[in-house]
Amino acid sequence: MIHHLRAAGTSFVLDARGTAVPAVIHFGADLGELDQHALQNLAEAQRPAIGPSSIDSPLTQRIVPLMADGWSGRPGLAGYHEGTPISTLGVQHTASLRLRETRHAGLNLSLVLETIPPVVGEPDATALVAEIDIEMSAQGVVRQRLSVRNEGSSVYSLASLDATLPVPARARELLDFTGRWPRERQPQRHDLGVGTWTRDSRHGRPGHDAAFLLVAGTPGFGFRHGEIWGSHLAWSGDQRLWAEASATGHSLVGAGELIEPGEVRLATGETYRSPWLVSAWSANGLDGLAERLHGFLRSKRPLGERKLMLNTWEAVYFDHDLAKLTRLAETAASVGVERFVLDDGWMTGRTDDRRALGDWVVDASKWPDGLHTLIERVHGLGMDFGLWVEPEMVSVDSDVFRAHPEWVLSAGNAELPQSWRFQQALDLSNPEAFAHVLGQLSALLDEYPIAYLKWDQNRDLLGGSAHRQTLACYRLMDALRAQHPTLEIESCSSGGARVDLGVLERTDRVWPSDTNDSLERQSIYRYTAGLVPPEFLGVHLGAPTAHTTGRSHELSFRLATALFGHAGIEWDLTTASETELDAIRVWASLYREQRALLHSGVLVRADDVDPARQLHGIVAADAMAAIFSIVTVAATRDSAVAPVRFPGLHPDLVYRVRAVKLGEWPRVLQDAPPPWWVHGGVTLSGRVLGELGLTMPLLLPEQALVLHLAAV
């Protein structure tokens, strides 16, 4: 049978006739209502001619690409049964599969494949059963995951199990991401020539340089144009994302967990299950892709109102002093902060980053009454309380290490793994280590009214099994959430080294980067929000001079930047002037007033004619309102820059456009502003705003102007 899944203008067609490994014959534009007869004609129309010097049947791109089916590119499944005689090893490596069963219910498909018995040896000695779950969401997002069960008589050592998706020949350009601390998710593009483009992560976390989202599209695709296919692996450990174009004309993207030799060995009856590969198609460039992916994540992880928070890290670092923190909390409450998060430095002996990880006990010398006095004050000020933890780590200078040096995650050598930020990872797949951490964290959550944990992870693993550690970390998060169902968790990893949909299945916020430099944050937001909806993305108002870059920015630019996302403050507000605090109050009340829109609307990013000027915004789902930010990331190319066009509005609605003053206006260099500015706003149709646009004041570099649009 040929299966046709359809939602939100997207079709996914899978040819599962006969016993061959099924083939995805279309993932893209909606093909309309099609019966089996029409689907068969469609499938026939896609079968290629058979060329000379090739297999003698049409080469089809199967959902598990295998050498046995004529595919000489990267296989979907690789591994071998240990102890198999060398004479039959080739059979095991290529794992010939056939379809045993297909289940189709609504937008869900489930395929069961089995190995074709080898011609030599015991028929069942090398048996495998592979299952593939394919789901299309209401937004047209397709996610798939695979599992493989060893039904053979010896251990099956899995090398790789990747989910794949064919992309049409016209998708010749690739976009993915790289970065470093604290400069995550920087885009990189190139042509997909014949060969394979592979992005491996061996950090034990996706990493600051994670590929993040692999997009293949028609050349030149942008935020608002081009046909694209984007894929993300929902996994927080080692991983491989790749795209391959074959000289046969077939192209595909694939991804799976990166499994080290011997890391996944399945005894008879054991199963390995891959992470989800989450994919979406868009005819409208990256914004169309983001809209689908945001809808998908919002449906899976609905969030409550995102509280405006203050995080103490860049305000006090390890210098935890009750009087100082109380003053900070009072100032925070006075500007409208709703959550106070005590960052690193509260545990026994944690005077710097060289000690005390793994001992999740409040330092009695800094906190004679424990955290009670601070928390009571925070609650008295009308805020709730959050606490920083780093549960997967241990310092050599800690009680837990002194008692259990064997709990360190390592490859089993006599020497400790390379130290990283002066710390080691704790092997959470060790049940005793796991129980220790769970016990200490549970005790904290039982003793104190903690609404929120900032869950940090500050090193690459560099040894031990990233596979087992990642699963154990998920189990730990799940166990704590089960014990404390209202607990919110933020995923932080030296900033943004663990931003993925695997961790977001069990956390409520990611910290995209350790930089609070607004200029850096503009591009980090622009691209991280291409997958993760803004309400999951922490963004903090930092100090006037950014700690990570030494760059200084005016308050209005920092406030405009920190409006888009889940907002917070990470600055010693006790050093801010009254004028600054007043501006922050205006911003905080704007955030509270507009967060329903900012956290539910449709993301709009536009390419401007002038590369120094960027526009991003959020348009309400019903298009009745919008908030945009025009940002100068450098000196503009032109002296009298062209009008800014506002995409994403309803063409037939008429909008009142007004500029929003965040304490002070952004800095301009002009003899006179555009006339509409003098009149305090302008009323224009969505069509005019989208097609012709609106002239802007001449902003100096590193300034941002926030505009509010309301349908009249």
Concatenating the DSSP letter of every residue in 189-258 gives EEE--SEEEEEEE-SSS--TT----EEEESTT--SSSB-EEEEEEE-SSSEEEEEEE-TTS-EEEEEEE-
Spatial contact of 498 and 457, defined as CB atoms under 8 Å apart: yes
Distance CA 32, CA 271 (A): 38
Cα–Cα distance measured from residue 636 to residue 455, given in angstroms and rounded to the nearest whole number:
40
User: Smaller CB distance to ligand DGJ: residue 494 or 614?
Assistant: 494
Beta strands 703-711 and 625-632, pairing class: antiparallel
Query: Nearest Cα to 294, choosing from 132, 90, 454, 504?
Result: 504
Q: What is the largest CA-CA distance in the chain?
A: 87
Q: Smaller CB distance to ligand DGJ: residue 111 or 562? A: 562
**How far lies 232's CA from each of 222, 293, 437, 496, in Å?**
18, 10, 30, 16
Which residue's CB is nearer to ligand DGJ, number 201 or number 458?
A: 458
Burial of 508 (0-12, 13-18, 19+ CB in 10 A): buried
Helices (H), 426-573: 431-447, 466-483, 518-528, 555-561
Residues lying near ligand DGJ in the complex (CB under 6 A) are found at: 313, 343-344, 353, 388, 456, 458, 492, 494-495, 511, 514
Task: Give the residue with the Cβ less far from ligand DGJ, 248 or 348.
Answer: 348
Residue 209: CB minimum distance to ligand DGJ, A = 16
Rounded to a whole number of angstroms, the minimum distance from the CB of residue 710 to ligand DGJ is: 36
Outline where 250-395 has alpha helix (H): 285-300, 313-316, 322-335, 372-380
Cα(219)–Cα(171) distance, rounded to whole angstroms? 7
| Least distance between ligand DGJ and beta carbon 137 (Å) | 31
Whether the link from the prior residue into 123 is cis, omega within 30° of 0, is no
Nearest distance from C-beta of residue 324 to ligand DGJ, angstroms: 17
> By beta-carbon distance, which residue lies closest to ligand DGJ?
344
Distances (CA, A) of 706 to 3, 231, 333, 539: 47, 32, 25, 16
* Opening angle at CA 528, ends 527 and 533, nearest 5: 120
DSSP annotation of 459: S
Query: Smallest Cα–Cα separation from 228: which of 186, 143, 291?
Result: 291
Dihedral over alpha carbons 282, 36, 113, 242 (to 10 degrees): -20
We find the least distance from the C-beta atom of residue 393 to ligand DGJ, in angstroms, to be 10
* CB nearer to ligand DGJ: pick between 131 and 314: 314
Question: What's the min distance (Å) between Cβ of 161 and ligand DGJ?
Answer: 32
Q: How far is the CB of 13 from ligand DGJ (least distance, A)?
A: 44
Structure tokens at 326: 């109380």
Q: For ligand DGJ, give the closer residue by CB, 126 or 395.
A: 395
- The least distance separating ligand DGJ from the CB of residue 540, rounded to whole angstroms, comes to 9
Instruction: Give me the active site residues, please.
Output: 456, 514
CA distance 74 to 256: 12
Q: Which is nearer to ligand DGJ, 256 or 512 (CB)?
A: 512
Toward ligand DGJ, which CB reaches closer, 235 or 388?
388
47 or 421: CB nearest ligand DGJ? 421
Burial of 237 (0-12, 13-18, 19+ CB in 10 A): buried
**Nearest distance, CB of residue 421 and ligand DGJ, angstroms:** 8
Q: Minimum distance between the CB of residue 464 and ligand DGJ, rounded to whole angstroms?
A: 21
Distance, in Å, from the CA atom of 352 to the CA atom of 451, rounded to the nearest integer, reads: 25
Residue type, 617: G
Q: Could you give the residue ranges of the DSSP H alpha helices within 389-517?
A: 399-403, 431-447, 466-483
CB of 662 to ligand DGJ, least distance (A): 24
Q: Which is nearer to ligand DGJ, 178 or 548 (CB)?
A: 548
Distance (Å, rounded) from C-alpha 435 to C-alpha 19? 47
Q: Would you say 230 or 495 has its CB closer to ligand DGJ?
A: 495
CA nearest to 457, candidates 516, 410, 514, 412: 514
Question: Half-sphere exposure of 132 toward its Cβ, with a 13 Å CA cutoff?
Answer: 31
Please report, for residues 415, 602, 630, the alpha-carbon distance to residue 644 in angstroms, rounded to integers and kept in the order given: 59, 19, 8
Q: What angle do CA 239, 241, 243 make, to 5 degrees?
A: 160
> CA–CA distance from 467 to each of 202, 237, 576 (Å)?
11, 7, 46
